[in-house]
Structure 1
Amino acid sequence: MRILHVNKFLYRRGGAEGYLLDLSELQRAAGHDVEYWGMDHPDNLPGLPLADTFAPHVELEPAPGGLAGLAASARMVWSPASGRGLARALDRFRPDVVHFHNVYHQLSPSVLRPVRARGITSVMTLHDYKLACPSYQMLSHGAVCERCVGGSTLNAVRERCKSGSLGASAVLALESGLHRRLHAYDAVDRFVSPSHFLREVMVRAGMAPERIVTLANVVSGGEEAPVPSPPAGPGAGARFVFAGRLSPEKGVDTLVRAVGGAPDGIGLDVAGDGPSRAELEALAAQVAPGRVHFHGRLDKAQVADLVRRSVAMVVPSRWYENQPMTILEAFAAATPVVATDLGGMPELVRDGVEGHLVPPNDAEALARVLGGLAADPDGARAMGSRARERFTAEFTGEVHLAGLAAVYDEARRASERGRAHTTTEG
């Protein structure tokens, strides 16, 4: 099968890109012909065959000002250049299926039109809540918010959900409102939701249930049995790990405060970068001096080494995480997970089984859990073993590819029915 993956970024930037690259590796190993299409970006993987057809590069964080800002806003709603570029890539590569990922803002739903026009099967993995929430996080000023789910996108303007900015929030509300009114994403044959929670949100937002299939994500390289690295007690320097983007919704500030309030000897390794890094480093120096090490962006092998040597992976998010790839990576490494009880995470981490669940924004509760795990290395190891068993049963490449093949087949049938209906009407 010839598969074209479409995502705005084509380098290991976050969970969506990690899934995209891992899935492509698995599909190629299974004998499929796989290529990428996205936005031109200096960090993209080198030597991509379709790079000359990519959408033009635009920076939206921070958003440009003046006329450039107006042009970027228009591009978020509809990007003719993106549609034309993907059309050229389709005619050159001739895929059997186009698998969309994060196309919002930099690419826009204009990329769906040439796929539908050519009668090519399309699937889209939902990595966040963008189709239900203009700012995609379902957060308003640090608190969980569901006002736009099934409601007006103007709520984003009233709440100033985007960085407290009236203008930026208005742009997002306009973008999402127009896309909803125009049914811009109806061109997708089937959507894949990595969690039941996200699927339920999308159904409440008006998406037909039969168009969404729940299929857990996958990480590659976890099929081999991990090399055990027993967690140490606090006296020997027990360390926990966070891996991900350093931005407010991730709740790393709560984790840093928890480490500062945990028993002596407990430390934290932070792998990742982002807009909150300087602020978090200053906070760590104040409340947990010498106990938090910021590594910056690491490659996959380096992150895996940190995870393997840690007592537990910590995912302290204050937003509705869908299905964090870091949790699956920890499970593959036989490492337990401490996560907040939000979004799709309770579907993965069962409290007391593969790790622990804690309330969001509660540094004291998190500190108690970290201290308990560090003081009981045998219990932590047992949780890690159960996490590994869960990974082997549910999240391997073999399991995921079988499920995705069924989704592709269902999407193909839906596409054929759609074309037959259009022909009959014509």
Structure 2
Amino acid sequence: MRVLVVHNRYRSEQPSGENHVVDQEIDLLRSAGHDVRLFERRSDDIASMSLPAKGAVPLRVPWNPASRRDLAAELRRERPDVVHIHNTFPLLSPSVVAACQDARVPAVATLHNYGMVCPPGTLFRDGEICGECVGRQPLPALAHGCYRSSRLATAPMALSVAMNRRRWWTGISRFFCISDAQRRLLVRAGMPESRMTVKHNFIPDPGLRRSLPGEHFLFLGRMSEEKGVRVLMRAWERASTGVPLVLAGAGPLQDEVAQWAQARPDVHYLGLRGKQECQRLMANAVAVVAPSAWLEAFGLVVVEAMAADVPAVAPAHGAFVELIEHKVSGLLYHPGDAHALAEALRRAAEPARNREMGEAARVRYEKDFTPSVGLDRLLAGYDEAIRGA
């Protein structure tokens, strides 16, 4: 199969799970013998643009005719069987969908967030889950300045959602949702249910699995409000698990987290760490804590923990409800409730319960999240798109 992958890479200064997923899918397809080409733009390139070019970037977020023209030329040259679209913000724009329609090449799209119904793609505002724009025009996002707390920065994204919604919904043959929770929400918002399918992200086997009871609880991710760091800090002060907490990652709350950790002998803040060290920290964890305040569309860190025989503790909302079987492969608690999280941490530290949950987590990983499962679902979606075309 000839596949053309379309992706706008996020800035390298912000480690992106989405970039990682795209790269893994390309490698997986190529290893299975498929011919995969990449049509991409890089947000890193904005820094080297001239001042007028930088100023034009927001104007082209809703529609970039150059991207449509360039992709059309690529489609004529490569003649792929299917186009797989990932991120189009900010340098590609939804004009790439029109290029596929013009060339009559079937296109699929992976929805990595909630960008189809929420301009910043997060469903999160002022520290709370927000659904004001779901199922309607994105005027509330513009009024609140939901992207970077700026109405001016939000305007191009809100305009893109408003003017391109129908183009996405009619021009894409198959949408890949990364969880059923995400799919259900988008269907309620009016997206075409018959073309929405769940294709979870897959995780290559890390080769490191927990063999001992574990040395610490682990938070691995962005130090930000939406990731629930403050809820975790409040819960930890009540938990008394007898096991230390390790936090790894960077973000806007990193100074606050570092100061909090410095005052507590049972907390260690490591900052940003490389892939191999993160895998080692995972394999030595009692449990991974993913206290996200927003509705995670997937929850990559939870599945990474499963692959390492490590259970997870997470709030009972978003994708976590389908990733974690409560009291079997991990523990769920009432979202935003520090007391409930503290109790879940105490339960997760119980040795017998913890060992059983870790074993069940690995079984779930092998059933649903391995590369072979991911490849089957990916190719099935391509086949459906091609047959439909």
TM-score, normalised with respect to structure 1: 0.83
Q: How many angstroms does 1:335 deviate by?
A: 0.7
Label 1:242 to 1:88 Cα distance change in 2 as closer, same or farther (>3 A): farther
Q: How many angstroms does 1:88 deviate by?
A: 4.0
- Within 2, Cα distance between the matches of 1:115 and 1:362? 46
- Partner in structure 2 of residue 18 of structure 1: 20
Q: How many angstroms does 1:164 deviate by?
A: 3.4
Label 1:266 to 1:406 Cα distance change in 2 as closer, same or farther (>3 A): same
Q: How many angstroms does 1:313 deviate by?
A: 1.2
- Partner in structure 2 of residue 46 of structure 1: none
- Partner in structure 1 of residue 171 of structure 2: 187
- Partner in structure 2 of residue 219 of structure 1: 203
- Within 1, Cα distance between the matches of 2:40 and 2:159? 23
Q: Does 2:383 align with 1:409?
A: yes
- Within 1, Cα distance between the matches of 2:248 and 2:80? 36
- Partner in structure 2 of residue 3 of structure 1: 3
CA deviations 1:397-418 (Å, max 9, x no partner) are: 2222122211111101222xxx
User: One-letter code of the match for 1:356?
Assistant: L
Greater Cα shift, 195-204 or 78-87: 78-87
Among 297, 306, 322, which residue is 1:347 paired with? 322
- Partner in structure 1 of residue 92 of structure 2: 107
Greater Cα shift, 4-13 or 192-201: 4-13
Q: How many angstroms does 1:372 deviate by?
A: 2.6
Q: How many angstroms does 1:249 deviate by?
A: 1.3
- Within 1, Cα distance between the matches of 2:69 and 2:190? 30
CA contact (8 A) 1:230 1:377 kept: no
User: One-letter code of the match for 1:178?
Assistant: M
- Partner in structure 2 of residue 235 of structure 1: none
Secondary structure of the corresponding residue to residue 246 of structure 2: strand
Q: How many angstroms does 1:273 deviate by?
A: 2.6
- Partner in structure 2 of residue 137 of structure 1: 122
Among 246, 253, 268, which residue is 1:269 paired with? 246
Greater Cα shift, 190-199 or 24-33: 24-33
Q: Does 2:133 align with 1:151?
A: no
- Partner in structure 2 of residue 387 of structure 1: 361
- Partner in structure 2 of residue 308 of structure 1: 283
- Partner in structure 2 of residue 424 of structure 1: none
Structure 2: any 5+ residue segments left out of the alignment?
none
- Within 2, Cα distance between the matches of 1:371 and 1:36? 47
CA deviations 1:198-219 (Å, max 9, x no partner) are: 1111112211111111222211
Q: Does 2:72 align with 1:87?
A: yes
Q: Does 2:307 align with 1:332?
A: yes
Greater Cα shift, 154-163 or 380-389: 154-163
- Within 2, Cα distance between the matches of 1:162 and 1:117? 32
User: One-letter code of the match for 1:230?
Assistant: L
- Within 2, Cα distance between the matches of 1:216 and 1:274? 26
Q: Does 2:279 align with 1:291?
A: no
Q: How many angstroms does 1:124 deviate by?
A: 0.6
User: One-letter code of the match for 1:58?
Assistant: I
- Partner in structure 2 of residue 323 of structure 1: 298
Greater Cα shift, 130-139 or 110-119: 110-119
Secondary structure of the corresponding residue to residue 217 of structure 1: coil
Greater Cα shift, 68-77 or 18-27: 68-77
- Partner in structure 1 of residue 194 of structure 2: 210
CA deviations 1:370-410 (Å, max 9, x no partner) are: 23322x12211110100111111122222221222111111
TM-score, normalised with respect to structure 2: 0.90
Structure 1: any 5+ residue segments left out of the alignment?
43-56, 233-237, 416-426
- Within 2, Cα distance between the matches of 1:314 and 1:87? 45
- Partner in structure 1 of residue 345 of structure 2: 370
- Within 2, Cα distance between the matches of 1:292 and 1:381? 24
- Partner in structure 2 of residue 229 of structure 1: 211
- Within 2, Cα distance between the matches of 1:40 and 1:167? 22
- Partner in structure 2 of residue 50 of structure 1: none
Secondary structure of the corresponding residue to residue 312 of structure 1: strand
- Within 2, Cα distance between the matches of 1:97 and 1:123? 7
Q: How many angstroms does 1:290 deviate by?
A: 6.0
Q: How many angstroms does 1:69 deviate by?
A: 6.7
CA contact (8 A) 1:131 1:176 kept: yes
CA contact (8 A) 2:290 2:314 kept: yes
CA contact (8 A) 1:312 1:337 kept: yes
Q: How many angstroms does 1:7 deviate by?
A: 1.9
Q: How many angstroms does 1:369 deviate by?
A: 1.8
Label 1:382 to 1:33 Cα distance change in 2 as closer, same or farther (>3 A): same
- Within 1, Cα distance between the matches of 2:243 and 2:367? 32
Secondary structure of the corresponding residue to residue 83 of structure 2: strand
Greater Cα shift, 256-265 or 209-218: 256-265
